[in-house]
Amino acid sequence: MDNKNFRQFDLKKKPRGFETVVQGLLFLTGILSIFITVTIVYELGKEAMLFFNDPDVTLIKFFTMTRWQPSIGEYGIVALVSATLTTSFIAILISLPLGLASAIFLSEYASLRVRSILKPVLEILAGIPTVVYGYFALLFVTPILKLIFSGSQMQTYNMLSAGLVMGIMILPLIASMSEDALSAVPRALREGAYAMGATKLETSLQVVVPAALSGIGAAVIVGISRAVGETMIVAIAAGAGPNFSFNPLDAAETMTGHIARISGGDLSYNTIDYTSLFAIALMLFLVTLVLNLISQWVVNRFRERYE
Amino acid sequence: MNQKQDYFPEGHAFYSALRRRYLIAGVWQTIFFSALLIAIISLMALLYDVVNGAFGYIAYEYKNDPSEYTSTPISELTKEELLSILKENLSSGAYNKLNNEQPMETRSQGELYVLFLKGLLQVDTKQTWDLTDSLLRGAEIRAEAAEKYPDAQLEFRSWLTPQFLTTPMSSKAEFAGVRTAVLGSLWLVGIAIIFALPVGVGSAVYLQEYAPKNWLTAIIQTNINNLAGVPSIVYGMLGLALFVRTMESITSGAAFGITDSNGRTVLSAGLTMGILVLPLMIINAQEAIKAVPDSLRQAAYGVGATRLQTVWSHVLPNALPGILTGSILAISRTLGETAPLIVVGASTFVTIDPSSPFSKFTALPIQIYNWTTRPQSEFHAIAASAIIVLLVLLLTLNATAILLRNRFQRKY
């Protein structure tokens, strides 16, 4: 073998400038997403630090005061968190049972034809912009609720209407994620249950759902994270003005709704109003980040592996 | 043996237990189906509510009597007559201002008619009714309107008209349109896609074709999944801090010699939207690239192609339909997303078409939000009309996505 000639054809060692440049560029686009995350944390953190560095603001006040109006020295984020919790709770209360039941029906009961008709309904619901849901909440659901609760002091803007509509908005998300989890359960498990004489219901509830529990759990957590971060429905229908209340019939402003309302007005930089918004946004970011990480962890940790 | 009988009933006990089990199964099946039924009903109610708001009776008065200006019925006025009426009766300042925006002679009869109604007659809406009311209680409404507003005219009006699409924003609901909002939305989509498409595809190609399996790649992947779950309003705050404030000299156009604007431009908002849809873009492109079978890559390597040649000539063309579908999903998201635009500072009242990346802007969902939150019912009616425009736009886009997917889908 002529070694010298052979080396000439070793194309792996041939320098390819263009390829290297392109590969470098692709790598840059790849790590851009990390750069975005870092920028979010940096920008939110920078302004939030300005807020917390204000001598008047203490973490104790931030987490224990029940009134929020930074311009007059009231820094109780709890007033906003209470509304976020209430609306999200109502939303999950609606969307979890309905979404899970829809998923079980689609994955276990529906024939192919029925599925092909019903699935698009969920897809359309998922594709409707949230501002449209806001319109729906304020001008359709709220008047109906007012008829139902005509005796009590229900306010025009209320958390119940916003929460209910948010539940409808999250329903398709929970349904489609749960359905994916249910369909991933191997057929052999179902056949085994049928062979033991189980009915379809017993198979679904006692075999398939437990086997898909990690996926369903992840769906619920993602649903909560979506509810916490949802803005337009609560901005339109839940009320304008922080209010420490867990009563669904009250008007109250969520964290997101507050950011939207304040930043929508004339806002001058470097005021406490401005920096406080970033403190709220940072909280939102961290809460949803933790929820999303938990959901990914749940999926990976508790996934039943079928080979 | 007794214990065994408890677990395995026989004879009559067996059949009654079986009947009970079937009954429970039937009940639950109904419950499962009703959940979907509720979803369907909600969707129907939502669509009904929107359509219900966009059409209906309206009672209005003219503040100034038409007979002061002309003897012919106002709906039969020709363009020339309208021109002379406007010239005579509008103050010269107002007339010149209109003339400067667009020469009066070049305007159509319809536009002049609107100016006539708006500027001279001054339409004043007294009350509006929704579609259901208008259809079911027509006679009652006519009686009610005649009694409450003796001078008013009652007419059945569709708030969604061709004019609604072509006129800019106005402070009177009767003359407001979505022209500037639709154009603003298109600008946003354009800027967002110019940013997100190349970066998203590049990122996906890197992750699927180049990235080694190590901790860095794992972090990038987890990070992308997390970014997809960050609330949109947080992206809005990022846009406010980064594009509107920190990079103000670029996004306001000051670096390019434009002096009369601040950072709250369509460029800032478009870039914010681009970052917002980037994770969606990457994940979809990754799925598309993953679906390209390995045999195609092996074939390319087999004939001596380099990695880049393989990606460019084999992987990307085959992943293109998936990437296009992903782009359309990203566009839909950009069109419907509202919260970040509010934070970045969309103006709610813009009457001039956005003409450059450094223009002030408004967008369809911003208008819908703005009109929905006003107390007057005529604004709710135009909010409903704007929602119909938005939904039709989204539906068309998604239909295109499905069509593309079916047209180019290949099975290996």
Q: What's the pLDDT score for residue B49?
A: 93
In sequence order, what are the residues at sequence separation of 6 or more whose Cβ sits closer than 8 angstroms to the Cβ of residue B330?
B192, B193, B196, B197, B200, B277, B280, B281, B284
Residues of B in contact with A124 (CB under 8 A): 43
> Is B245 touching A (CB cutoff 8 A)?
yes
Model confidence over B57-81: pLDDT tens digits? 888 877 777 777 776 766 677 777 7
CA distance B348 to chain A (A): 9
Residue B280 and residue B157 in one domain: no
Of A131, A138, A139, the CB nearest to B365: A131
CA angle B385, B388, B390 (to 5 degrees): 110
Q: What's the pLDDT score for residue B321?
A: 86
Residue B202 and residue B248 in one domain: yes
The reply to whether residue B233 touches residue A44, judged by beta carbons under 8 angstroms, is no
| pLDDT average, residue stretch A235-242 | 88
CATH of the domain at B213: 1.10.3720.10
> Is B188 touching A (CB cutoff 8 A)?
no
Element (H, E) at B68: none
Q: What's the pLDDT score for residue B406?
A: 76
| pLDDT average, residue stretch A248-253 | 90
Which A residues, 24 through 83, put their C-beta within 8 Å of a C-beta on chain B? 25-27, 29-34, 36-37, 39-40, 43-44, 46-47
Question: Does position B238 have pLDDT exceeding 90, yes or no?
Answer: yes
Residue B200 and residue B336 in one domain: yes
Residue B44 and residue B112 in one domain: no
Model confidence over B5-19: pLDDT tens digits? 556 677 888 888 889
Count of domains for chain B: 3
CA distance B380 to chain A (A): 8
> Is A143 touching B (CB cutoff 8 A)?
no
| Residue B171 is assigned to a structural domain of this protein | no
| Residue B287 is assigned to a structural domain of this protein | yes
Of B43, B198, B216, the CB nearest to A121: B43
Residue of higher predicted confidence among B284 and B132: B284
User: What is the spatial distance between Cα B185 and Cα A131, in angstroms, rounded to a whole number?
Assistant: 15
Model confidence over B248-265: pLDDT tens digits? 888 887 777 776 677 788
Model confidence over B380-395: pLDDT tens digits? 999 999 999 999 999 9
Q: Domain extents for chain A?
A: 68-302
CATH code for the domain defined by A68-302: 1.10.3720.10
Residue B94's domain comprises 56-162
pLDDT category, B206, cuts 50, 70, 90? very high
The reply to whether residue B237 touches residue A34, judged by beta carbons under 8 angstroms, is no
Of A109, A201, A278, the CB nearest to B24: A201
Nearest chain A residue to B336 by CA: give it.
Answer: A129
Q: Which of B36, B51, B66 is the last residue of a domain?
A: B51
| pLDDT average, residue stretch B368-380 | 90
Residues of A in contact with B398 (CB under 8 A): 127
Where would I find the H helices in B303-376?
A: 307-310, 316-336, 339-344, 364-372
Percent of chain B with pLDDT over 90: 42
Q: What is the rounded average pLDDT for all residues in chain A?
A: 88
Residue B141 and residue B199 in one domain: no
Which A residues, 145 through 174, put their C-beta within 8 Å of a C-beta on chain B? 168, 171-172
For A56, B88, B188, B194, B203, the CA distances from B199, given in Å and listed in that order, are 44, 58, 17, 9, 6
Residue B91 and residue B46 in one domain: no
Lookup result for tokens 């992903």: B326
> Is A296 touching B (CB cutoff 8 A)?
yes
> Is A136 touching B (CB cutoff 8 A)?
yes
| pLDDT average, residue stretch B333-348 | 88
Question: Does position A261 have pLDDT exceeding 60, yes or no?
Answer: yes
Model confidence over B114-129: pLDDT tens digits? 777 776 777 777 788 8
> Is B36 touching A (CB cutoff 8 A)?
yes
The reply to whether residue B369 touches residue A47, judged by beta carbons under 8 angstroms, is no
Q: What's the pLDDT score for residue B1?
A: 44
Question: Does position A1 have pLDDT exceeding 50, yes or no?
Answer: no
Poorest-confidence range of A97-101, A139-143, A200-204, B76-80?
A: B76-80
The reply to whether residue A292 touches residue B225, judged by beta carbons under 8 angstroms, is yes
Could you tell me if A66 and A78 are in contact, meaning their C-beta atoms sit under 8 angstroms apart? yes
Q: What's the pLDDT score for residue A121?
A: 84
Of A229, A232, A278, the CB nearest to B369: A232
Rg, Å, chain B Cα set: 30
Question: Does position B4 have pLDDT exceeding 60, yes or no?
Answer: no
| Residue B129 is assigned to a structural domain of this protein | yes
Residue B271 and residue B395 in one domain: yes
Give phi and psi for B126, each to the nearest 5.
Answer: -90, -45
Residue B151 and residue B102 in one domain: yes
Question: Does position A161 have pLDDT exceeding 50, yes or no?
Answer: yes
Residues of B in contact with A222 (CB under 8 A): 229
